[in-house]
Amino acid sequence: MSSNALHVPVMLQRCLDMLAPALARPGAVVVDCTLGLGGHSEALLRTFPEARLIALDRDPAALKLSGERLAPYGDRATLVHAVYDELPEVLARLGVPRVQGILFDLGVSSMQLDEAERGFAYAQDAPLDMRMDQTTGISAAEVLNTYPPGDLVRILRTYGEEKFARKIVDAVVRERAKEPFRNSARLVELIREALPQAAKRTGGNPAKRTFQALRIEVNGELAVLERAIPAAVAALAVGGRIAVLSYHSLEDRLVKHVLAAGAETTAPPGLPVVPERYQPRLKLLTRGAELPTEEEIAENRRAAPARLRGAERIREEVAP
């Protein structure tokens, strides 16, 4: 199956419009921090013919497919095997001090969801892996089989916002003592049995929140994002823009906090004139988070939970 058939980029036109004022100038550099199957990257290269693209992904399989897709753009596209919190090191290595545009699409790529052996999807039986880079780190099965019960409850509550975390973990601990978890179907079945009847009737697949929580833990997603968004803001040139698509409230809250903090004055209250070093560094480009249109959701159900926030760099850091 071709990468094009696998991937419909979320809120594509809105992302392009948001970044356009920064990327229309010759020599602009744009970073796609979450390359995936290259849908956003290809559109950036096509829409801004003067721009150079640097694209990051931790998944070697995604880099291979995207490399084929972006090959027609030659040396305008530089693909790098890296996690997005490594952006400062990547830019330093490439000799790029500042960039004009940065895009994050924090969703799990269609390829990872659709390929059963990756173990991301709760709708089909597969090995419980969930690593975005299968060359490193521990799998979801290892988390389930080895973490203390208290840690599992914390992960499900914090990362999955799962109200019945304790019930699910009690069942997991009971079952793993009999036989370690290896495949997703057994976990899905266990969750169905552990949840009260009423909870199974609402909110889609009852395993969804647990699978999200395990995926975030396995890939360290929130810790990575916590480092990545401030690093990305710091990499923007004045006039540069950042656009971030997130898919659950934990990510969105984190992005909102970093961008909002950059758009506020840091001056002590009561100063008659605010010195330059206390002035806001960012201007917000969205009021709250923008949502996909109903038409887009009808065409691409994976767009439904998306939230888009953006900001423009309006001032350099000034040393105190």
pLDDT at 263 over 90: yes
CA distance 243 to 16: 9
Q: Enter the tokens of residue 184.
A: 């997703």
Domain extent for 147: 119-219
Pairing outcome for strands 99-105 and 77-81: unpaired
- Asked if the structure places residue 235 within a domain, the reply is yes
Check whether residue 167 and residue 125 sit in a common domain: yes
Check whether residue 226 and residue 249 sit in a common domain: yes
- 267-279: b or e for each residue (b if 16 or more CB lie within 10 Å)? eeeeeeeeeeeee
What integer pLDDT is reported at residue 276 of this predicted model? 80
What integer pLDDT is reported at residue 114 of this predicted model? 46
What integer pLDDT is reported at residue 3 of this predicted model? 38
Q: Is 84 annotated as a binding residue?
A: yes
CA distance 54 to 38: 12
What would the mean pLDDT of 38-61 be, rounded to a whole number? 95
- Asked if the structure places residue 212 within a domain, the reply is yes
Check whether residue 199 and residue 247 sit in a common domain: no
- Where residue 123 falls among pLDDT bands split at 50, 70, 90? low
| Boundary-marking domain end, from 155, 187, 219 | 219
Q: Is 170 annotated as a binding residue?
A: no
Q: Is 262 annotated as a binding residue?
A: no
What integer pLDDT is reported at residue 121 of this predicted model? 60
- Asked if the structure places residue 187 within a domain, the reply is yes
What integer pLDDT is reported at residue 7 of this predicted model? 58
Check whether residue 293 and residue 198 sit in a common domain: no
- Asked if the structure places residue 320 within a domain, the reply is no
H/E stretch holding 3? helix 3-6
Q: Is 32 annotated as a binding residue?
A: no
Residue 29 near residue 87, CB atoms below 8 Å: no
What would the mean pLDDT of 108-115 be, rounded to a whole number? 50
What integer pLDDT is reported at residue 132 of this predicted model? 79
Q: Enter the tokens of residue 293.
A: 């249109």
pLDDT at 108 over 90: no
Q: Which of 122-126, 128-132, 177-181, 228-232 has the lowest mean pLDDT?
A: 122-126
What integer pLDDT is reported at residue 181 of this predicted model? 96
Q: Is 112 annotated as a binding residue?
A: yes
pLDDT at 122 over 70: no
Check whether residue 87 and residue 153 sit in a common domain: no
Residue 218 near residue 192, CB atoms below 8 Å: no
pLDDT over 70 for what percent of the chain? 89
Check whether residue 229 and residue 210 sit in a common domain: no
CATH code assigned at 148: 1.10.150.170
Check whether residue 292 and residue 212 sit in a common domain: no
CATH code assigned at 235: 3.40.50.150
What integer pLDDT is reported at residue 2 of this predicted model? 36
Check whether residue 151 and residue 291 sit in a common domain: no
Q: Which of 62-66, 101-105, 113-117, 296-300 has the lowest mean pLDDT?
A: 113-117
What would the mean pLDDT of 162-181 be, rounded to a whole number? 96
Check whether residue 236 and residue 308 sit in a common domain: yes
pLDDT at 24 over 70: yes
Please give the residue that has the higher pLDDT: either 15 or 220: 15
Check whether residue 51 and residue 187 sit in a common domain: no
CA distance 246 to 255: 8
Q: Enter the tokens of residue 74.
A: 């030659």
What is the number of structural domains in the chain?
2
Burial of 93 (0-12, 13-18, 19+ CB in 10 A): exposed
Please give the residue that has the higher pLDDT: either 37 or 107: 37
| Boundary-marking domain end, from 199, 219, 239 | 219
CA distance 67 to 304: 28
- Where residue 239 falls among pLDDT bands split at 50, 70, 90? very high
CA distance 75 to 98: 19
pLDDT at 112 over 50: no
pLDDT at 8 over 90: no
pLDDT at 178 over 90: yes
Q: Which of 71-75, 223-227, 302-306 has the lowest mean pLDDT?
A: 302-306
| Boundary-marking domain end, from 195, 219, 243 | 219
Check whether residue 77 and residue 169 sit in a common domain: no
Q: Is 39 annotated as a binding residue?
A: yes
pLDDT at 119 over 80: no
Cα-Cα-Cα-Cα dihedral sign, residues 237, 249, 56, 156: positive
- Where residue 81 falls among pLDDT bands split at 50, 70, 90? very high
Sheet holding 307-313, edge to edge: 77-81, 52-57, 29-32, 99-105, 236-246, 307-313, 282-284
Residue-wise pLDDT for 188-235, tens only, equals 999 999 988 776 666 667 888 899 899 999 988 899 999 999 999 999
What would the mean pLDDT of 175-185 be, rounded to a whole number? 94
pLDDT at 150 over 60: yes
What integer pLDDT is reported at residue 130 of this predicted model? 87
245: three-class secondary structure by DSSP:
strand
- Mean predicted lDDT score pLDDT of the chain: 89
Residue 107 near residue 247, CB atoms below 8 Å: yes
